[in-house]
Amino acid sequence: MRSPFANGMRPRALAVAVVLTAWFVLVLVRLVHLQVFEHARLKSDVLSQSQNEIAVYPTRGTITDRNGKILARSLPVESVYFSPVRTEPPSRQMEQIARLRGILDLSAKDLARIGARVEKRSGYILIKRKADPDVAARAFALGVKGLFLQGESKRFYPQQNLAAHVLGGVGIDDNGLAGVELQYDRLLEGEKGKRLLMLDARRRSYSFETITEAKPGQDLRLTIDETIQYIAESELEKAVTVTGAKWGTVVVMDSSTGEILALANAPSYAPGDYPPESEVGRNQAIARNFEPGSTFKIVTAAAARACGRVGFGEIYDCRKGSIMVGGAAVRDHKPLGVLGFSGVFIESSDVVTIMVAQEIVARGLYDMIRAFRFGEKTGIDLPGEEQGIIHPLSTWRTSSFRVAIGYEISVTALQILRAMNIYAARGLLVRPHIALDRPAGIAEGEPAVLPEKIVGELVPVFEAVVEEGTGKPARLEGFNIAGKTGTAQKIDRAIGAYSSRLHLASFVGFVPAERPALSMIVVIDEPQGTLQYGGQVAAPVFREIAARVLRYLRVVPNAAPPAVITASLAKGGRP
Amino acid sequence: MVHRRYGLKEIALGAGFILLLLVILTFYIWYQTEAIQLGYRIGELEVRINRMKEDIKRLEAKRSELLSLRRIEGIARGELGLVDPAPGQVLYEGRDLEPKKERP
């Protein structure tokens, strides 16, 4: 056999060998270029084409009332995403997406946004966030290439507006923005997870791998009672509508534990559509400072008894009907004649309360205000609480004695309620709270704010306020109510002085006075029309709520109201 | 070339061994297939369980919505014409109540 390298064939064989070697070298150079120099870019391209890492949102914890009734719950929904198909022109893909328009309710703006991202061939594009599962399933059934669904959850408030200001609301990512949703966000939200989607050549997801498991949030049980909350809201709403007031608030608290049974504001909003208009979203019970007016006399009365200079035998002449304080006149709401110490508070005489305060002297009054913890937050577990405004004693002027009648001081409704509750709790300060598993409202070893003797002396005075004084409209047959009315004039910004038209009407009290079950405050801001006093506007709301709530709680009246038929089992009788 | 002749016993043993191998292999393949099938089935059932749990949560929320007091009161007053009980219609059971004394 003849060798291929023999004679004439050798140059041709050499040429072939050179060409082959050059070709191998070229391939090798290209491989080195792709595998070494272009490695990082190409690897990321491959990963972006074959995988997608997405966040998995955990299910937020459920919020219930004290009896386990659902107030807020997260339910599964589907978010619709689109992963652009690289092999198809963007215009064709947009034609496909346009088919979803009707089902997913996409606007022209949405389509423009999606179109821009399809042009850029972005990793994955959000088409519709948190769509109803049925709607998402209908969209998916159209078979649009590159479309995929991602399970998420959406906050649902089955009771609509109920306890809106307590619950607050969440944002689009289910993050708490107000109320307990914000206060207990960490507990409720759980922990986000991560998931890796595997995509085929057409960028359709065929499998997924969980990188980090999402941890669901914990449930939260509130002290709120759905029924009491509903009663408070419906009565408050009625009062605010009838009086044409700007806003109103009611807080109902368990006198001994500080558990908030209801916290209502009117007007209200739907927590499912958070955020509402700015003012409507404000929790007026804790986030609004105001001059309280005569409800603050519950502090003055305590200071008077504690200082030891004012006795129940004192007689005050207030026939003049006015007194000058720091160059300005303070007047009674009507001529009151001669009053004893109890009568001052029963008839709510501003004139005599100022006289009493002057006997107490500023230091005694100031110390009692601090003892009642005004100027400090109550510590309720809700965000946005105000602490009120108290001027330091060193800055007090003669006019500062108006503090005794609830002016020149700012408080929140909850602070006034907590102060009144000191009488209900036999002198102890009870901390209000809204989450049921929080510790009891009375701190162990904390000294009493008021001695039992003073409480025992003053509670009958506040009972008499309701039985025969300014708080008569709060009277409830069969129950003794201890309470105090308040009517504060408001500053008219137009004239820069206290207005005779603008009032803040309030009533604070507890019931039954001898075995308190509930403490409650009602505040109505700027009632219109002829009825503007706390006794006329707020006290009837207190009565209506108390009547319904006591019946609901099965609190038996002390004495049978005249028309009530009473029934009881005879001894040895069968039920 | 010289070929060794196998006895009947040897052939039967060899055939039995091959058969056994085939049986084991078949069992292994069947076992693997069944395991994979069961895995799919378990996966499907897990998805079903999760969906049912979600349905329970959804139904509980729906029940809560249907039993909301605003709705119930609306039906009671609006559709059924119910009214609040008058003071004389309230019975307090299980306790002797003294008629209220007027405050002096």
pLDDT reading at A30 higher than 80:
yes
Q: What phi and psi values does residue A152 have, to the nearest 5 degrees?
A: -140, -170
Backbone angles phi, psi at A140, to 5 degrees: -65, -35
Q: What is the mean pLDDT of residues A130-151?
A: 88
- Inspect the interface and report whether the beta carbons of B99 and A560 lie closer than 8 Å: yes
Contact A332, A351 (CB under 8 A): yes
Instruction: Tell whether B33 is within 8 A of chain A (Cβ).
Output: no
Summarize the confidence of residues A438-444 as an average pLDDT.
Answer: 65
Closest residue in chain B to residue A152, using alpha carbons only: B54
- The CA radius of gyration of chain B, in Å to the nearest whole number, is 40
Supply the DSSP string of A95-156, one letter for each residue: HHHHTTHHHHT--HHHHHHHHHHHHHT-S-EEEEEEE-HHHHHHHHTT--TTEEEEEEEEEE
Are residues A224 and A163 in contact, defined by beta-carbon separation less than 8 angstroms? yes
B101 at the A interface (CB within 8 A)?
A: yes
Is B93 within 8 Å of A477 when comparing Cβ atoms?
Answer: no
- pLDDT class for B103, splitting at 50, 70, 90? very low
Q: What is the pLDDT of residues A504-545, one digit of tens each?
A: 999 999 999 999 999 999 999 999 988 889 999 999 999 999
Do residues A51 and A200 touch, judged by C-beta distance below 8 A?
no
Q: How many angstroms away from the CA of A49 is the closest CA of chain B? A: 27
CA B1 to chain centre: 73
The H or E element spanning position A322 is: strand A322-325
Considering chain A, what percentage of its residues have pLDDT values greater than 90? Answer: 57
Angle formed at CA B42 by CA B39 and CA B45, multiple of 5 degrees: 150
What confidence tens digit (pLDDT) does each residue in A398-439 have?
Answer: 888 899 999 999 999 999 999 999 999 999 999 999 999 876
A148 CA: distance to closest CA in chain B (Å)? 17
ipTM value, please give it: 0.72
* Contact assignment for B100 to A562 by CB distance below 8 Å: yes
Confidence of residue A493 (pLDDT cuts 50, 70, 90): confident
Q: Quick check: helix, strand or coil at residue A164?
A: helix
| pLDDT of amino acid A530 | 86
Residue count of chain A:
575
CB contact under 8 A, A230 and B90: no
Identify the pLDDT of residue A494: 85
Residue found by looking up tokens 């009375």 in the block: A442
3-state class (DSSP) for residue A225: coil
Please tell me the predicted confidence (pLDDT) of residue A280. 93
Which of A70, A73, A477 is most worth mutating to test chain B (most B CB atoms within 10 A of its CB)?
A70
The pTM of the full predicted model, rounded to 2 decimals, is 0.81
Q: How far is CA A4 from CA A9, A96, A251, A363, A433, in A?
A: 6, 63, 107, 122, 101
Least confident of A27-41, A42-56, A129-143, A375-389: A42-56
CB A285 within 8 A of CB A412: yes
* Cβ contacts of B62 on chain A, cutoff 8 Å: 158
Say yes or no to pLDDT of B41 above 90. no
Cβ within 8 Å of B, A 482-501: none
Residue A575: the pLDDT is 43
Give, in order, the Cα–Cα distances in Å from A565 to each of A346, B86, B90, B99: 32, 11, 7, 10
The DSSP letter of residue A87 is T
pLDDT at A173: 84
pLDDT of the residue at A445: 67
Encoding tokens for residue A125? 């594009």
Q: Do B65 and A75 touch (CB under 8 A)?
A: no
Query: How do A220-221 and A63-64 pair as beta strands?
Result: parallel
Say what the pLDDT of residue B92 is: 72
Spatial CA neighbour of A53 closest among A165, A194, A234: A194
Distances (CA, A) of A517 to A14, A192, A381: 109, 43, 22
Q: Is the dihedral of CA A237, A238, A244, A248 positive or negative?
A: negative
Q: Residue A573 pLDDT > 50, yes or no? A: no
pLDDT tens digits, one per residue of A248-296 = 999 999 999 999 999 999 999 999 999 998 789 999 999 999 999 999 9
User: Pairing relation of β-strands A70-82 and A125-131?
Assistant: antiparallel
pLDDT tens for residues A154-211? 999 999 999 999 999 999 888 999 999 999 999 999 888 887 877 767 666 666 778 8
Q: Hey, what long-range contacts does A206-211 have (CB within 8 A, 24 or more apart)?
A: A210/A56, A211/A53
pLDDT digits (tens, 9 = 90+) for A367-390: 999 999 999 999 999 999 999 999
Q: CA–CA separation, A218 vs A394, rounded Å?
A: 49
Four-residue CA torsion sign, A227, A230, A236, A238: negative
Q: Kindly give the residue spans of alpha helices, DSSP state H, lying in A184-266.
A: 185-189, 226-243
Closest-CA distance of chain A to residue B30, Å: 25
Span A213-217, mean pLDDT? 88
pLDDT above 60 (res B94): no
